Chains A and B, each alone.
Chain A
Amino acid sequence: MSDPVRPGASRAAAFARNPAFWVVILLLAVGAVRMSQILARFLEAFPIATVAAIGLFGLLAIPFWLFVSELDFLEREPAGLMSVAFAWGGLVATSVSIPASTALENLIAKIGSPSLAAEWGAALAGPSVEEIAKTLGVVAIVLIARSQVNSVLDGVVYGALVGLGFQIVEDVVFAIGAVALAGQGDQIQPVVTTFLVRGFLAGVWSHTLFGALAGAGIGYLVVTTDRGRAHRIIMAGLALFGAWASHVLWNSPLFREGLGNGAVALLAVLVFKGLPPLLLILYLVRRAHDREAAYYVAQLASLRDPELITVGELRALGSGSRRAAARRHAAASAGRQARVRVRRLQRAQARLAVELSRASAGSTERPDGRHHDDVREQRAALVALGHPEAVEGVHSWRHTASTVGTTAVAIAVLWVALSALGGG
């Protein structure tokens, strides 16, 4: 079995010398022009609703962005490339999908029947066009910065960001469509309803999730070079098919009948149509994360230097929940400053692990010891705070109670939203 990570160069890619970069920039510019034209029409017809929609869905993007960027804690992606992925989803994939999805749905009505298009048009046309257009965004990232896609998890991150960009822009378009359909002028109530339904209830299993799955396939295609090309292409194709199938299931008319219109019916739809793909994709992301984490932790373990990383810290660094537990423990035992310092130490250790992996892969760049010094500096600061090791503490009943309480509040909010929207 191959290593889960194929280390890439640390220096910024020479973008300007790469013709593919300029092709991608041109596509982004064309997408920006097309989406700006749509936005200008929205602003002319419904200025208040449009600003409200952009504001609400823009805010929704923040937690998704933070979550996705935290997925690859150990080898963080450059903000510029993450922005390109997001922009691809919001500008290129959307501007391609709007005419193409309409055309495909029309063809379903023409070749099949209007009834078939009414029932399955949205389920078949949208996913078929959108999943291709979004996946090409991850391919674009590979083209302009191949060295930055060096694990399956990187593909997940870029795919999720392409999906997030698509989701936010699509939600704004849907919100303004709802305003126009309501026929009550420039009102924000349809925007709020769209936000609750598409952003809050359906947001979790939307394009971000599907994009992550397709992106994992591109990551696998690029990274697992010890496998045959046919095998890698089939796996990438399967991932794209999985994203398409999840999207089709979500858009499909299945379970639409027979469950009524109440909160229970809405919850059942969310569970039956959304949960299986959600769990599958979370499992795959977890697996990709753990494999990558194990690889980087092994790089650090080879140092055998407790000033750089201790055995306990090696264990904590490999898991998102244990890293968080170590930060909580620091805050509980030495205050907020220690929490901040533990986070900085973990980041410094992660950067060191990436540098070590590049050195072990024979990179032409020579390690300059900067990351070693950075770790030692953070360690010294922690020692000064009386909390020398960034490890988990004893399991706290307070944290358990807080988790249970937060979950209960989340369920209550979800139930209220379902009741309000489902009329139950």
Chain B
Amino acid sequence: MGTVTRRQLTDLPSTPGLIIALVLVAILAALSFGLPAVDRAVSAQRPVRAGEPYRVGAGVSVVPPPGATLDVTGTRPGDDRGTALFRIGAVRYAIAVQPFDGDLTAAAVRLRQRITGTSGYQVTGTQLAVSTAGGLAGLQGGYTAGDRGGRYAVFVAHGLTIEVTVSGGDLDLGRSLPTIDASTKTLRYEGTR
């Protein structure tokens, strides 16, 4: 057994203890502020090929709107589920696919509750039936959050729910919605997960 000194038997002397404590603070700061800063410094936008279907996940694809870029921070493709996040200027266009065993009405209720569950978000207007070129039937509606507006659409097919949410400032949204609506109509289940 090594020699045990009085210093070892008591707590660490103040000065080295304080230095190590400050190193510890620096590591924590690097993790909680440094990593997010590096993340913000690296661009998340990736170009997508115009007019070509993009595979969201679980066999679902969509043709992105012209001029859209893919935001890789909100994009996670997978075999049984997936998400894709496109940005058209300041407008956010998100698609989420996941397993679902309910009907279209239940899927719409679920999505509306998720939207209104976010503080400040309110659903507006009535829901309308919508369909895609590939034959998927769905429901769509609108929501607001302060000075931001939003649209949602939901489809159910082949044991999946496909949720579309679009949000942005009213002006930007007004300009982008026609191309986003056109893109939503290209949603297609290709059958191979």
Contact = CB atoms under 8 A, between A and B. Distances in A.
> A and B, one complex?
yes
Interface in A95-132: 95-97, 99-100, 102-104, 106-107, 109-111, 113-115, 117-119, 121, 129, 132
Interface residues of A, number: 65
B24 interface: yes
Contacts of B21: 19-20, 23-24, 140, 143
B192 interface: no
A132 B31 contact: yes
A96 B12 contact: no
Nearest to B115: A183
B17 interface: yes
Q: Which of A2, A100, A104, A142 has the most B CB atoms < 10 Å from its CB?
A: A100
B114 A147 contact: no
B10 interface: yes
Contact of B44 (A17, A102, A110, A133): A110
A136 B24 contact: yes
Interface stretch (A236-244, A356-364, A396-404): A356-364
B20 A361 contact: no
Interface of A: 2-3, 6-9, 13-14, 17-20, 23-24, 27, 41, 44-46, 92, 95-97, 99-100, 102-104, 106-107, 109-111, 113-115, 117-119, 121, 129, 132-133, 136, 139-140, 142-147, 180-185, 225-226, 257, 361-364
Q: Which of A13, A46, A136 has the most B CB atoms < 10 Å from its CB?
A: A136
A146 B12 contact: yes
B133 interface: no
Interface residues of B, number: 48
Nearest to B79: A257
Contacts, number: 159
B18 A23 contact: yes
Interface stretch (B70-78, B135-143, B176-184): B70-78
A139 B24 contact: yes
Contact of B32 (A14, A96, A139): A96
A361 B10 CA distance: 13
B117 A18 contact: no
A354 to B, nearest CB: 13
Contacts of A183: 109-114, 117
Interface of B: 1-2, 4, 6, 8-12, 14, 17-18, 20-22, 24-25, 27-28, 31-33, 35-36, 38-39, 42-44, 57, 70, 72-73, 75-79, 82, 109-114, 117-119
Contact of A6 (B4, B18, B32, B77): B4
Contacts of B113: 183-185
A114 B27 contact: no
Contacts of B22: 23
A396 B19 CA distance: 56
Contacts of B8: 6, 146, 225
A2 B113 CA distance: 62
Contacts of B24: 23, 27, 136, 139-140, 143
B39 A117 contact: no
A41 B28 contact: no
Contact of A117 (B1, B72, B119): B72
Contacts of B39: 102-104, 106-107, 110
Contact of A2 (B2, B6, B110): B2
A136 B23 CA distance: 10
B32 A95 contact: yes
A226 B28 contact: no
Closest 8 CB pairs of A and B: A183-B110, A103-B39, A118-B76, A20-B21, A23-B21, A20-B17, A114-B75, A103-B35
Contacts of A132: 27, 31
Contacts of B78: 118-119
A182 B4 contact: no
Given A27-B28, A118-B78, A226-B1, A143 B12 contact: yes
B4 A147 contact: no
22 contacts: A6-B4, A7-B9, A13-B11, A19-B17, A19-B21, A23-B21, A92-B28, A95-B32, A96-B31, A96-B32, A121-B76, A136-B24, A139-B24, A144-B11, A144-B17, A146-B8, A147-B10, A181-B114, A182-B110, A183-B110, A183-B112, A185-B113
